[in-house]
Amino acid sequence: DGGITQSPKYLFRKEGQNVTLSCEQNLNHDAMYWYRQDPGQGLRLIYYSQIVNDFQKGDIAEGYSVSREKKESFPLTVTSAQKNPTAFYLCASSISGSGYTFGSGTRLTVV
């Protein structure tokens, strides 16, 4: 079955560390997105990509980086510059007019 796979489900980061969250889709969707979710704040867009080798900043890109070397993959790196990284991270993909398909999320905690 087609879908989006996010890994790991839970991730712990030490202060000053970079960590990478994986997102893979087999839906043949062109567009992919990363959102951050905090209690009471809904979903905030971090980065998005419409085609391979191209991506744009969303509303809260500072302290994050992405790459899009393959259509199927859109990994997110949370850098040490992100001062408050503890959150639930959601990856999504879309094809025009159909809304988004979401992965099951990665919960990142700073220890």
Partner 1 sequence: AQSVTQLGSHVSVSEGALVLLRCNYSSSVPPYLFWYVQYPNQGLQLLLKYTSAATLVKGINGFEAEFKKSETSFHLTKPSAHMSDAAEYFCAVSGVLGGNEKLTFGTGTRLTIIP
Instruction: Give the residues lining the site for partner 1 (CB under 8 A).
Output: 4, 6, 9, 30-31, 40-43, 45, 48, 50, 56, 88, 90, 92, 94, 96-105, 107
Residue 30, token pair as written in the block: 């062109």
Least spacing, CB of residue 15 vs partner 1, in Å: 24
Burial class (CB in 10 A: 0-12, 13-18, 19+), 80: middle
Q: How far is CA 67 from CA 38, 72, 90, 94, 108, in A?
A: 24, 11, 16, 17, 19
Nearer to partner 1, 16 or 98 (CB): 98
1/15 with CB nearer partner 1 = 1
Closest approach of Cβ 80 to partner 1, in Å? 26
